Chain A
Amino acid sequence: MKMMKMIDKEDLKGLKYYLSFIVLISTIYLYSMFTGYRFLSFNESSHKKERAGSRIYIHK
């Protein structure tokens, strides 16, 4: 509360776009943490609905 008082209302008006961005990013963060989504994990695992043929094993 004390910290909130340290931020001027006029400053908050000036920062409205950044505040909107914070809200958007925070929503994505909370969604990912509650649903167990790990950012940047798209190349680590792949999800398929069913097994079509045998899996291709990629050993570099």
Chain B
Amino acid sequence: MEEETTIVATKTTCYKCITGFDSYLNSNAYSIICPKCGTLYTIYNGVLEKTTEIVNIPENPIYIPIGTSGIINGIKYLVIGYAYKKENGTNYCWQEYTLFNPIHGQAYLSQYEGHWTYLTELNKLPLVSKDGLTAIFDGTEYNLFSRYKAELIAARSEWIYRFSTKEMPRVEEFVIPGCMISREQTNVNITWYKGEYIQPEIIKKEFKVESMPEIIGVGAIQPFRGKFKTEGLRNLVILLVAIWGIAQLCFLWTAKEEIVFTQAFTINDSLNKKEIYSKPFDLKYGTTNAEVKVSTNIDNNWMYTAITLVNEKTGDLYDVDMEAEYYHGYEGGENWSEGENWVSKVISQVPEGRYYLIIYPEKPTNMASVFLDISVARDVFVFSNGLIILVILGIFPAFYFYRVKNFEKKRWYYSNFSPYEDDEDD
């Protein structure tokens, strides 16, 4: 923090109402308003010159009294003025506190529905797009949020420039979460400001404000508050998905998917609902999965096969029920089909060893015989595991991003340039 600079107020007297009031800018002031009668003065070399303009005296509560000092972004400011403004043609009103620091000059604190923005004048020009909907400043693109004419309702202030109540500057505000840049255009000049969202608790603490305005809705530049940045989570999710994809590909490439058994059967009435024992086969590669696949020649029919994988040595059994159903037809001018004439199931964690199958087929009665082709593949790639993991890991980011999007929609609710307009129509 910089060294403190004390500002001493000088007493000034209004010629009209003969009221003494404080001036903090002293000889730096160019315009000043009498806080009692609202007469606007122009100051030349410390001498007040009365103008014909009268400014309304503020009636609304002034949350930060003039003469209060506080620190924002490491700069100690003194509140030297207050203005109550309104968007011309609407009922949107906001408060504007003028801040002053002898080294850094003037800055502003704008308060609208409990949201505070700290504004400082820019010393370089942002680049506005041809359509006027975006502005680029310091490599960051800001989106147009509002365009209006600012009307002064009441004020109690002094300025380092010539002030006129007749001026109704045309304002354009471009925003990103947390920041904004705004252009104020009068008949004679264009001024750009950079605004930064200040948390109300900081204002309350720094300016020792007793009563704060109620916070309503989401501020135009209010950032989404979390313990981390949204970009941080987004980058983590991208990284996670990339690692997930690589891991899935690795498991796909390294899966043996070796057919270790295949045998064909013709199931007729003599074999129907009877146990059939297969020839033995070996399962290798330690403990891993085995996929049993049953292919049939059914057509508009079903075939049930119960298969038990038996370890010859240990007697361990793995039961799977496999039912193939395949139906198709032509209805309402369209072909349709349902199911498949084959079925496969993965048996998890089968230790290596010598195995055989006990096959129990049950064929439909309207078929004299059914052809069965049974195969066993060792160490197959299971895509669904990765998919389930991805879904589980995606729940938190999905919920978080949903909340952020809702927050953004609320931010843009009162803007005429909302990118969420279509969503709101829904």
Contact surface of A with B, Cβ cutoff 8 Å: 3-4, 6-8, 10-15, 18, 21-22, 25-26, 28-30, 32-33, 35-41, 44-51, 55, 57-60
Contact = CB atoms under 8 A, between A and B. Distances in A.
Interface stretch (B47-55, B209-217, B329-337, B344-352): B344-352
Contacts of A45: 318-320, 345-348
B229 A50 contact: no
Contacts of B226: 14
B393 A59 contact: no
Contacts of A36: 287-290, 348-350, 379, 382
B139 interface: no
Nearest to B242: A3
B239 A4 contact: yes
A18 B396 contact: yes
B385 A39 contact: yes
B289 A37 contact: yes
Interface residues of chain B: helix, strand, loop or mixed (majority): mixed
B289 A38 contact: yes
A38 B385 contact: yes
Nearest to A4: B239
B235 A6 contact: yes
A43 to B, nearest CB: 10
B251 A15 contact: no
A41 to B, nearest CB: 5
Contacts of A12: 228, 232
B236 A7 contact: yes
Contacts of B227: 13-15
Given A37-B289, A37-B349, A48-B319, A57 B360 contact: yes
B315 A58 contact: no
20 contacts: A3-B238, A4-B239, A6-B231, A7-B232, A11-B233, A25-B393, A28-B389, A32-B385, A36-B289, A37-B289, A38-B348, A39-B388, A44-B345, A50-B315, A50-B316, A57-B304, A57-B321, A57-B360, A59-B323, A59-B362
Contacts of B316: 47-50
Chain B CB count within 10 A is highest, among A22, A38, A45, A60, for A45
Nearest to A58: B321
Interface string B2-34: 000000000000000000000000000000000
B396 A7 contact: no
B229 A47 contact: no
Contacts of A30: 247
Interface residues of B, number: 50
Nearest to A5: B235
B404 to A, nearest CB: 14
B308 interface: yes
Given A35-B349, A38-B384, A15 B321 contact: no
B232 A41 contact: no
Interface string B286-303: 011110000000000000
Which 6 A-B residue pairings sit nearest by Cβ, starting from the closest? A11-B232, A14-B227, A14-B228, A36-B288, A36-B289, A11-B228
B360 A41 contact: no
Contact of B384 (A6, A7, A40, A55): A40
A8 B349 contact: no
B368 interface: no
B398 to A, nearest CB: 12
B349 A15 contact: no
A22 B388 contact: no
B317 interface: yes
A41 B346 CA distance: 8
A55 B308 contact: yes
B385 A29 contact: yes
B315 to A, nearest CB: 5
A13 B369 CA distance: 66
A40 B384 CA distance: 9
A29 B315 contact: no
A14 B233 CA distance: 10
A33 B385 contact: yes
Contacts of A60: 323
B103 interface: no
A55 B357 CA distance: 13
B267 interface: no
Given A6-B235, A15-B228, A59-B362, A50 B348 contact: no
Contacts of A6: 231, 235
A44 B228 contact: no
B225 to A, nearest CB: 11
